[in-house]
Amino acid sequence: MVELALHGGPAAAEGLSFPSWPQCTEQSKENILDALETEAWCRNYSDAEWVDTFEERFSDYQDAEYGIAVSNGTAAIEVALRMLDVHPGDEVIVPPYTFIATASAVTELGAVPIFADIDPDTYNLDADAVAEQVTENTVGVVGVHIAGYPMDFDELLPVVEEHDLFLVEDAAHAQGAEWRGERVGAIGDVGTFSFQASKALSGGEGGMVVTNDDVLAEQGRLVHNIGRMDGKVYRHYELASNMRLSEFQGALLCAQLDDLDDQLATRRRNDERLRAELADIDGISPKPQDDRITARGYCLYDLKYDPEAFDGLSRDDFLEALSAEGVPASKGYVMPMYKQPAFARNVVQARVPANASVPTYRNMFLPGVEEVTSTNISMSHQVLLAEEGGMEAIGHAIRKVAENVDILH
C-alpha cells in the first residue's frame, strides 16, 4: 500500500497536467489589437463591428434567431426578465442550487424568487417541485443547466405550458450543450449566457441573451441600451440601464469562439475516460448519462460522494486527501441559495412591494438540494482539458484514498 501524499508519500496525480484558464491565444491578441486600432471602442460607433459579429456568430452557434450581447451574465438574466415583462411583486420560480445571480436578478426587478427543489442526480430543477410552487402570482421559471448538464425539457416544458408561464434558460455554464440535437438557450422563451473568466467560453466578463422571438429580441435591444432604438440618437423610449458589451470583449470572444468546438470535443472525450475510471469505484458517481442530451457543455464537473462507501470518511477529509494527491476538487456551491444571508426575509422585503408575500427563506428545507450541497465534489472544466493519462491519474488518486481510508479517520 502506497503512503498517502497527505502523510508524506508521492502524489498519485502528480502528473496531472491541464492548461491554465482563460487562455490568451494569438488570435485573441490579433482581434484585440484590431479593435484597439479602429478606435471604435464602443459598439455604438458607426464602424464598430466586433460585438455585432459576435452576436451573429454566437446566436447561430446556439441555434437561436437573435442574440443580444450584454456586459455580464447577471445583466443577461435581468435583461431577459425585463424582456418578459416581469413586474414588482411577481413570483418567479428558481432553483436553490446555482450562482446567486439566478435569483438576485429576480429581486432587482422587485419580483419575488420562489425556490423549487432540484433532482439530486442531475442538480437541475425538478419539474414536479416546480409545479408544486405555482401560485396565482407566478409568472415564470428560471431554470439552470447546471455545470453544462441540460435540464429535462421533456418534464419541465409541459409544466410551464400548462400554467402559462415563461421559461428562461440560465445557460451560463452551457455553451455548446444540446438537448435532442438542438443547442440550449432558445428552447425556452429566452436563454442567457455568461462569459465570465471561469466559463468555457471566456471574455473575462460578458453575457448574451438569445431568443427566437422577434418581439422579445426588439425589447431586449431596447432595455440593454438605455432605452434607445438607435444607439447614435439621444432618443430614449424606455427607462433602462446601460448593459452593452464593449468592442474589446466582442473581439476577444470572437477569437475564443474559434477554439470552443475543439475544446469541447476534448472535454467530452475526457468525460468518457473519467467515467470509465470511476465505474469500478464505489461511492463516487458522475451525473447520469442521458441519450436526450446529445452534447454536454462544461463549466464544472460534478461528482456525488457517498461517505458510507469510504467507511464514513467525511467529504472534507476526503477532499483534503484528494487535493494532496494532486487532484483540484472542491465542494462546489456550499449551501442552498435560501440559506444565503442575502436572502434573509427582511433583505428581500426591502426590494419588493410591501404587499408582496415573501417566504421565510431561512426556514426552508428542500431535500434534493440539501443532499447535493452535502455530497457534491466539483472540478473546473479545464481539468477535462488534461493531457493523455490525466483522467487515469484522477482515478488512481481516488483509488489510493479509498485504499487508505482506514488511516484517515
Query: Closest Cα partner for 323 from 378, 284, 386, 365?
Result: 378
CA distances from 57 to 13, 23, 38, 66, 133 (A): 39, 20, 21, 10, 37
In the chain, what is the straight-line distance between the N-terminal and C-terminal CA atoms, in Å?
Answer: 17
Residue 192 dihedral angles phi and psi, to the nearest 5°? -130, 145
For residue 261, give the amino acid letter.
Answer: D
Query: Closest Cα partner for 83 from 188, 234, 194?
Result: 188
- Residues catalogued as catalytic: 99, 170, 173, 196, 199, 228, 234, 244
User: Mind giving me the DSSP string for 14-51?
Assistant: TT-----SS---HHHHHHHHHHHHH---STTSTT--HH
Residues 103 and 86: beta-carbon distance below 8 Å? no
Residues 113 and 336: beta-carbon distance below 8 Å? no
Cell of 161: 405550458
Cβ neighbours around 248 below 10 Å, total: 18
Cell of 282: 464505489
CA distances from 195 to 201, 241, 251, 269 (A): 6, 20, 13, 23
Distance CA 315, CA 320 (A): 9
Distance CA 94, CA 104 (A): 10
- 75-108 in b/e form (b: 16+ CB < 10 A) is bbbbbbbbbbebeebbbbbbbbbbbebbbbbbbb
Residues 236 and 95: beta-carbon distance below 8 Å? no
